[in-house]
Amino acid sequence: MQLGNSHLFVDVDLVEVSNALSEWSWFLKGEWTPLSVSAVGDVFLENQTGKVFRLDTGVAELEAVAPSVAAFHEALQFPASLQEWLLAPVVAELQSQGKTLGHGQCYGFTILPIFREGSYRAENRFMLSALEHIRITGDMHSQLKDVPNGQAIKIKVKVTE
């Protein structure tokens, strides 16, 4: 699917996005069809009724953004939608720093916004595979979903080869 403002979207195979969303199966119940992935790593999905939602991978929230795919495309013509849903100013700042995305890449989080130290800002972003971003954030949120707000946690990263 070709969308306007292509610099705000990731060029990625939507079948592979659907596979990566398996890490979100604990959260996404029912049938969901990925429509696009934003440059900031959020996934736009269509549900079985035809409504379009934005999966905010930073905080594991699902927001209804349009009653149909056509209405979603129409809404993307408005600067407010680009700022709110696609974080266009953040993308512009990253690109002005020379951080141009390659094929299949998005701007992921250094620290997820669910943590006090995290944010949606450009300085908390790095480039990585969009598919990895979707998988990693889904897995991380799955592990943290039952942790009470304010609870201290310790994260251990285990590298396997």
- Tens digit of pLDDT for each residue in 19-76? 999 999 999 999 999 999 999 999 999 999 999 999 999 999 999 999 999 999 999 9
The count of domains in the chain is 1
116 lies in some domain: yes
Q: List, in order, residues 6 or more apart from 140 with CB less than 8 Å away.
A: 112
Question: What number is the average pLDDT over the span 85-102?
Answer: 96
Query: Does residue 152 fall inside a structural domain?
Result: no
Q: Is residue 149 part of a domain?
A: no
Strand, helix or coil for residue 158: coil
Asked, for residue 87, whether it belongs to a domain, the answer is yes
26 part of a folded domain: yes
Count of C-beta atoms within a 10 Å radius of residue 154: 4
Question: What average pLDDT does range 3-21 have in this prediction?
Answer: 90
SS (H, E, C) 4-67: CCHHHECCCCHHHHHHHHHHHCCCCCCCEEEEEEECCCCEEEEECCCCEEEEECCCCEEEEEEC
What does the pLDDT read at residue 2?
Answer: 40
pLDDT value at residue 4: 52
CB 94 within 8 A of CB 107: yes
- 1 pLDDT above the threshold of 70: no
Task: Examine the pLDDT at 110 and tell me if it is beyond 50.
Answer: yes
**Residue 66 to residue 69: CA distance in whole angstroms:** 7
Whole domain around residue 110: which residue ranges? 6-144
Partnered with residue 128 across adjacent β-strands are 106
Q: How open is the CA angle 4-10-12, to the nearest 5 degrees?
A: 115
Do 24 and 138 touch, CB atoms closer than 8 A? yes
Residue 85 has a pLDDT of 97
Please, how many CA atoms are within 13 Å of residue 22, restricted to the half-sphere of its CB? 4
> Per residue in 125-148, pLDDT tens?
999 999 999 999 999 999 998 887
The answer to whether position 154 is within a domain reads no
